[in-house]
Amino acid sequence: MPFDRLIDNIKAKNNPTVAGLDPKLSYLPAYLKENAYRNYGKTLEGAAAAILEYNKGLIDALCDIVPAVKPQCAYYEMYGWQGMRTLAQTIQYAKEKGMYVIEDGKRNDIGTTMEAYAAAHLGETQVEEAACSAFGADALTVNGYLGSDGITPVLKVCKAMDKGMFVLVKTSNPSSGELQNQLISSEDTVYYTMGMMCEQWGRELMGAYGYSGVGAVVGATYPAQLQELREALPHTFFLVPGYGAQGGGARDVAPAFDQNGLGAIINSSRGILCAWQKEGCDERDYAGAARREAIRMRDEIVGCIQAG
Amino acid sequence: MPFDRLIDNIKAKNNPTVAGLDPKLSYLPAYLKENAYRNYGKTLEGAAAAILEYNKGLIDALCDIVPAVKPQCAYYEMYGWQGMRTLAQTIQYAKEKGMYVIEDGKRNDIGTTMEAYAAAHLGETQVEEAACSAFGADALTVNGYLGSDGITPVLKVCKAMDKGMFVLVKTSNPSSGELQNQLISSEDTVYYTMGMMCEQWGRELMGAYGYSGVGAVVGATYPAQLQELREALPHTFFLVPGYGAQGGGARDVAPAFDQNGLGAIINSSRGILCAWQKEGCDERDYAGAARREAIRMRDEIVGCIQAG
């Protein structure tokens, strides 16, 4: 059932974190870029080739200790279709290495169009009698501004293909409150209302651990809301961005977990991707540095959950 | 300035409509699919090749009478990176033919990530000293759930590159009211609040016709709200989906326009794409049928504006 595979991975590695693959070119070691530019020039194709090598090195170094990766679509789309090919190849590679793949696309649209997005990112695309996999991630982030119509088609694919989704509830960015903190009918905030919709949407997709296949994105940068939502949404698994570079610490994310230490996965992107720059190590050890940072992050967060 | 080019196009063709390019395979004539499958098999590549030919035929038939096209990203993403290549080629082809291209991606994210989306779809991607165009549309639809952080980076690119954006305000789908019609502080709806944010965001990007570069998506299926928002948002240009197959008629969209007959562009996707099926003409005349439907739609809507 949805997210059971993710939770199994988290338990097996005793690590409730996900490595965000947001590969800005400035994060890449020079030798990877030079190799790629030699073959393809300083072009979208050259950049996309360098990023694929970079991602593979990271996945190799992380796959036995980190349960999941989260590629952010924007950092692939900016390199055009060549970047999207790297995204598809990255997803494929991570799955082959046993990692759970959360594609961060924040997609949203009306029903018929969401069917197309669900096929693209989680399900299969029918080309006459042939069923083809376009991106084939395990879970997708989505935006619920359009209501149930935009969620139901994704639910359907999640049910049929054992996939999951995370709906934006309370995002980690500074201006997230402009709309999300507004009070609806003087009672509940927009983010709380969206959270309750997740509980509702998830009813048909309950998993063995008590969490449904409809998760929520709740930022580490708002710990009070994280705690409020953890209590209000007992069946909703959280994807928590904002740890590390965005300012959230391990204590801030502790309220995201239930009494069994489950219920959430914490994302770090820049902290892991740029570990070699922060450490000041040889650039050819970028993946080693990422692994050391991933272990540090795991131990810090697991420590805070156990202490909590 | 933003949208001035779009409005110039609308005035020159006396046609405030946009052709939505949402190419489901079932909309394509058989001969186009057979040609492509012969070359590439029944694969994502085969489907993407057929869609590119289909789109080019439509653009050729429409470019002298319709000011803009709106490709919907989902229908390209579902064919993987091969589909995204077709999207990039479609955008390029439409621009060469003088059409204004609104990419319907409804993108949204935190600030740094929105910079990447803005570069991907409207601006340029820097690969070292080379500035590369990934998709290069003229405007992009975005979702404002994350507040200003998700809009400001797009504004910056719009300003620098003479591009525009449309923010989801009141969408055309049946469940759009679940969140969008909720009352904030017992006063304004969520959609009205989002609309007022568009007026605010657009202040720095005013064009010659009195409309800013920050437009709004407002569905034809809710004519009362369309009228309410037209009055409340005098500087916000509307992209109006929901005409035709979704149920909106020409009288429903008339309130989207100002007293000069400007201020909005009405989208039709299925009506134009499937005109050959509805007409029952020879499939090789699919583009001719699309043109006849585009003319019918133009005359109907222009007639309603003048009568209004």
Q: CB distance A83–B197 less than 8 Å?
A: no
The phi, psi pair for B81, rounded to 5°, reads -65, -25
Quick one: residue B107, left, alpha or beta (phi over 0 = left, psi -120 to 50 = alpha)?
beta
Inter-chain residue contact A175 with B147, CB threshold 8 Å: yes
* Tens digit of each residue's pLDDT (9 = 90 or more) over B92-125: 999 999 999 999 999 999 999 999 999 999 999 9
User: CA-CA distance, A168 to A174, in Å (whole number)?
Assistant: 15
According to the model, what pLDDT value does residue A248 have?
Answer: 81
Give the range of the structural domain holding residue B161, as residue numbers without chain letter: 4-307
Alpha helices in chain B (DSSP H): 4-13, 30-40, 44-62, 74-77, 80-96, 111-121, 152-161, 177-180, 190-201, 223-232, 250-253, 270-273, 275-279, 286-307
The minimum CA-CA distance between B16 and chain A, rounded to whole Å, is 23
Averaged confidence pLDDT in chain A = 96
pLDDT score, position A153:
98
Which residue type, as a one-letter code, is found at position B146?
L
Contact at CB, A78 and B119, closer than 8 angstroms: yes
Residues of chain B with Cβ-Cβ distance to A47 below 8 Å are 125, 127
- A75-88 residue pLDDT tens: 999 999 999 999 99
Q: What is the C-alpha to C-alpha distance for residues A204 and A188, in angstroms, rounded to an integer? A: 24
Cβ contact B78–A125 (<8 Å): yes
Quick one: pLDDT at residue A291?
Answer: 98
pLDDT on residue A186? 77
Residue A163 appears among annotated catalytic residues: no
A177-204: per-residue pLDDT in tens?
999 999 998 789 999 999 999 999 999 9
Of B82, B110, B135, the CB nearest to A172: B110
pLDDT value at position A247?
A: 81
Report chain A residues whose CB lies below 8 A from the CB of B126: 25
Mutation for testing the B interface, residue in A173, A197, A246 having most B CBs under 10 Å: A173
Interior angle at CA A17, CA A159 and CA B152, nearest 5: 85
- Which chain A residues touch B143 with a CB distance below 8 Å? 106, 108, 143, 145
> Angle at which helices A223-232 and A190-202 pack, to 10 degrees?
40
Find which of A112, A166, A240 to mutate to test the B interface (most B CBs within 10 Å of its CB). Answer: A112
Q: Which residue has the higher pLDDT, A306 or A180?
A: A180
- Cα–Cα–Cα angle for B109, B112, B118, nearest 5°? 70
Determine the Cα–Cα distance for residues A5 and A138; give it in Å rounded to an integer.
Answer: 9
B10 min Cα distance to partner chain A (Å): 26
Among candidate residues B11, B106, B156, B159, the one labeled active-site is B106
Please tell me the predicted confidence (pLDDT) of residue B308: 59
Interface test with B, best of A78, A166, A181, A194 (most B CBs within 10 A): A78
pLDDT value, residue B48? 98
Write down the pLDDT at residue A278.
96
Q: Rounded to whole angstroms, how far apart are CA atoms B286 and B114?
A: 38
Count of domains observed in chain A: 1
User: What pLDDT score was predicted for residue A127?
Assistant: 98
**Of the candidates B88, B133, B175, which has its C-beta nearest A146's C-beta?**
B175
The DSSP-derived string for chain A is -TTHHHHHHHHHHT--EEEEE---GGGS-HHHHHHHHHHH-SSHHHHHHHHHHHHHHHHHHHTTT--EEEEBTHHHHTTHHHHHHHHHHHHHHHHHTT-EEEEEEEE---HHHHHHHHHHHTS-EEETTEEE-SS--SEEEE--TT-GGGTHHHHHHHHHHT-EEEEEEE-SSGGGHHHHTPEETTTEEHHHHHHHHHHHHHGGGB-TTS-BSEEEEE-TT-HHHHHHHHHH-TT--EEE--BSTTSB-HHHHGGGS-TTS-SEEEEESHHHHTHHHHHT--GGGHHHHHHHHHHHHHHHHHHHHHH-
How far is A215 from B77, CA to CA, in rounded Å?
23
- List pLDDT tens digits, range A222-248: 999 999 999 999 999 999 998 987 788
Q: Do B190 and A176 touch (CB under 8 A)?
A: no
- The per-residue pLDDT string of chain B (308 residues; one tens digit each, 9 = 90 and over) reads 779 999 999 999 999 999 999 999 999 999 999 999 999 999 999 999 999 999 999 999 999 999 999 999 999 999 999 999 999 999 999 999 999 999 999 999 999 999 999 999 999 999 999 999 999 999 999 999 999 999 999 999 999 999 999 999 999 999 999 999 999 987 899 999 999 999 999 999 999 999 999 999 999 999 999 999 999 999 999 999 989 877 888 889 999 999 999 999 999 999 999 999 999 999 999 999 999 999 999 999 999 887 75
Instruction: Choose, from A11, A97, A106, A156, the residue flagged as catalytic.
Output: A106
- The model's confidence at residue A308, banded by pLDDT at 50, 70 and 90, is low
CATH number of the domain that B13 lies in? Answer: 3.20.20.70
Pairs of CB atoms within 8 A across A/B: 244
Q: Looking at the predicted structure, is the pLDDT value of residue A124 above 80?
A: yes
Q: Dihedral of the CA atoms A173, A178, A179, A184 (nearest 10)?
A: 130
Of the candidates B81, B149, B185, the beta carbon closest to that of A186 is on B185
